[in-house]
Amino acid sequence: TQQQAKASYDAQDLWQKDKNHFIHPFTDFSLFHEKGCDLITDSDGIYVEDVHGNRFIDGIAGLWCVNVGHGRAEIGQAMAEQATRMAYFSTFNNLSNAPATELAAKLAELAPAHLNHVFFSCGGSTANDATIRLVHYYFNRLGKPTKKRILSRTNAYHGTTYMAASLTGIASNNWQFDTLDLVTHLSEANCYRRPEGMSEAEYCDHLVDELEQTIERLGADNIAAFIAEPIMGAGGVLVAPQGYHSRVQAICRANEILFIADEVVTGFGRLGHFFASEAVFDTQPDIINVAKGLSSGYAPLGATLISDDLYAVLSTPQGPGGVLSTGFTYSGHPVSCAAALKNIEIIEREGICENVLEVGPYLESQLKTLASHETVGDIRGSHFMMAIENVANKTTKALLPVEARVGDRVAAEAQKRGLIIRPVGHLNIISPPLIWTRQVVDDVVAILDEAFAATTRSLKADGYL
C-alpha cells in the first residue's frame, strides 16, 4: 500500500543523496547548499505530501501541469497496460503505434478546425524547438530561405533547449547562458506596468505599432514566425490588452509571418477550454504547441499541432527516398500517449473545463480580496492561471529589493500553513489542479490572507517596509 511504500523511504538518506548528486533545474544554490530540497513523496487529488508526512494543498498543479489532479489510478493503469503490452517501438520510417495514432486523431478533433496534423515531442521545450525547425524547413521548401527570424517577446517563457531558451525573453533565465541569434524580442504586453497615462486601448495600439515598426526594420522577407503564450505564464501571468492577439495575427498574416501559439500552460483546461487560442482570444494560429496538461504530467509529452496548409508543404516529398528528417526517439511514445488519452477522457467525462469556467471567476474574485495587504500591488490572470505581484509601494509600483525575497517569504508562509504556491522573484503564482472547488478556494484564500499578513510583519521586522 501507499503507507508501506512511504514507510520504506529513509528521509535523511534521500535528502543527503539529493544534495550530493541531483542538479536541480532552476534552483537557487545559495539555498540548496544550505538546506537541500524538500522531498515530495505522495499525492492524492489536490494534495501532495512530503517525506515527513506533511500534507499540502497543491497550488501549482506540480508545475502548471497536473490538471486532472493527483493519484488518478486509471491513468496509472492505462500506462501500466500499455507498458506491459508494448512499452516502446519506433515511430520513424512508416511505423506507428495505437495510442499515438489515437491521440493524434483526438487532438485534431479537439483543436481548431484547420489544425489536423500532430508532431509529437517530449515536453514543451522540445515542442517549441521542433516547431522552429519545421518552420524554417517550411520556408526553405517554399523557396524563401531568408525567412528565418522569429519574433518573441520579453518575459516570454518557451523552455530551455537552446532554441526554446533563445525564444524565452526572461533576462534572468539566460543570465550567463548563450542564446541563438535567431530571435528578436518585442515588448511584453504588461498592462500593470504600461506607460503612465496610457489607456489599455492606447497601450494595445502602442504594442501593435512596435510590431509593425519591427517588421519594417527587419523586413518581412527575413521573418518566419511570431510566437506567443496567449497569457504569458512564468514571465508573470501577463494578460494582454483586449484585441492584442487577433491584431497581431492579422499583421502576421499580411506579412506571411506564421503565428505560433505556445499553449503549453493555457491548453487543456486551464482557461476553461482545451485550447484557448480560438475560444478565448479569437485567433487561428498556424501552429499550436502543447505539453504539460496534455498528459497532466503523468508522463512526459509535448505536441505541435500543424495546419492543413503547412502540412501540405511539409509532407510534399522532396524526391525519391527523401524523408522529413526530424524527430525524437520518443516522438509518440506509447506510454505517454496512453496517459494523455486517459487524461483527455477524464477531462471530458468529469466536465473539468466546465469546472474551470465555473470556479475560475470565483478564484479570481476571491484572490482580489487580498488587495488590501500592504505589499500586494497587482492580482491578475484568468481562471486557473493567476499571479500576485508584490511591491514596496502601491502608488509608485516600486519593487522591494531582491534581497527581501518577498516571493519566497510569501511562499514559505503559505507552506507553513499547508499550501504550496510558487515564488518567482517578487511574484507568487497560483496555477492549481483544475479540480479545485469553491470550498478549496475559500480555504486557500484564508491561508493566503494569513501568509500575506505574516509577510508584511516579517518585512517590517527586517526593515524592508
**What is the contact surface with ligand PLP in residues (CB under 6 A)?**
123-125, 128, 157-159, 229, 233-234, 262, 264-265, 291
Q: State the minimum distance, in angstroms, from the CB of residue 121 to ligand PLP.
A: 9
Closest CA relative to residue 71, chosen from 87, 49, 99: 49
> Amino acid identity of 458?
S
Closest CA relative to residue 162, chosen from 182, 188, 147, 148: 182
Q: Using the minimum distance from each CB to ligand PLP, give the nearer residue, 190 or 455.
A: 190
Q: Using the minimum distance from each CB to ligand PLP, give the nearer residue, 381 or 447.
A: 381
Q: State the minimum distance, in angstroms, from the CB of residue 377 to ligand PLP.
A: 23
Q: State the minimum distance, in angstroms, from the CB of residue 164 to ligand PLP.
A: 6
Q: Using the minimum distance from each CB to ligand PLP, give the nearer residue, 104 or 291.
A: 291
Strand partners, 386: 381, 430
Closest CA relative to residue 179, chosen from 170, 188, 189: 170
Q: State the minimum distance, in angstroms, from the CB of residue 119 to ligand PLP.
A: 15
Q: Using the minimum distance from each CB to ligand PLP, give the nearer residue, 265 or 271.
A: 265
Q: State the minimum distance, in angstroms, from the CB of residue 177 to ligand PLP.
A: 15
Q: Using the minimum distance from each CB to ligand PLP, give the nearer residue, 140 or 174.
A: 174
Name the grid cell of 264.
503549453
State whether the Cα torsion 24-227-154-428 is positive or negative.
Answer: negative
- Residue number with the smallest Cβ distance to ligand PLP: 124
State whether the Cα torsion 238-40-407-185 is positive or negative.
Answer: negative
Q: State the minimum distance, in angstroms, from the CB of residue 170 to ligand PLP.
A: 11
Q: State the minimum distance, in angstroms, from the CB of residue 386 to ligand PLP.
A: 15
Q: State the minimum distance, in angstroms, from the CB of residue 439 to ligand PLP.
A: 28
Q: Using the minimum distance from each CB to ligand PLP, give the nearer residue, 43 or 431.
A: 431
Contact residues for 3 (Cβ-Cβ < 8 A; gap 6+): none
Distance, in Å, from the CA atom of 88 to the CA atom of 79, rounded to the nearest integer, reads 12
Q: Using the minimum distance from each CB to ligand PLP, give the nearer residue, 356 or 400.
A: 356
Closest CA relative to residue 232, chosen from 417, 427, 67, 370: 427
Residue 305, CA distances (Å) to 75, 250, 267, 287, 292 in order: 23, 20, 12, 5, 15
Closest CA relative to residue 53, chosen from 44, 62, 42, 61: 42
Q: Is 101 in contact with 266 (CB distance < 8 Å)?
A: no
Q: Is 165 helix (H, G, I), strand (E, B) or coil?
A: helix
Mapped to the 3 state alphabet, what secondary structure does 230-285 carry?
CEECCCCCEECCCCHHHHHHHHHHHCCCEEEEECCCCCCCCCCCCCHHHHCCCCCC
Biggest CA pair distance of the chain: 74
Q: State the minimum distance, in angstroms, from the CB of residue 8 to ligand PLP.
A: 30
Q: Using the minimum distance from each CB to ligand PLP, give the nearer residue, 226 or 452.
A: 226
Distance, in Å, from the CA atom of 339 to the CA atom of 81, rounded to the nearest integer, reads 10
Distance, in Å, from the CA atom of 274 to the CA atom of 346, rounded to the nearest integer, reads 12
Q: Using the minimum distance from each CB to ligand PLP, give the nearer residue, 156 or 445.
A: 156
Specify the residue for cell string 507568487.
Answer: 428
Q: Using the minimum distance from each CB to ligand PLP, give the nearer residue, 233 or 432.
A: 233
Q: State the minimum distance, in angstroms, from the CB of residue 5 to ligand PLP.
A: 27
| DSSP sequence for 122-158 | SSHHHHHHHHHHHHHHHHHHTT-TT--EEEEETT---
Q: Using the minimum distance from each CB to ligand PLP, give the nearer residue, 266 or 375.
A: 266
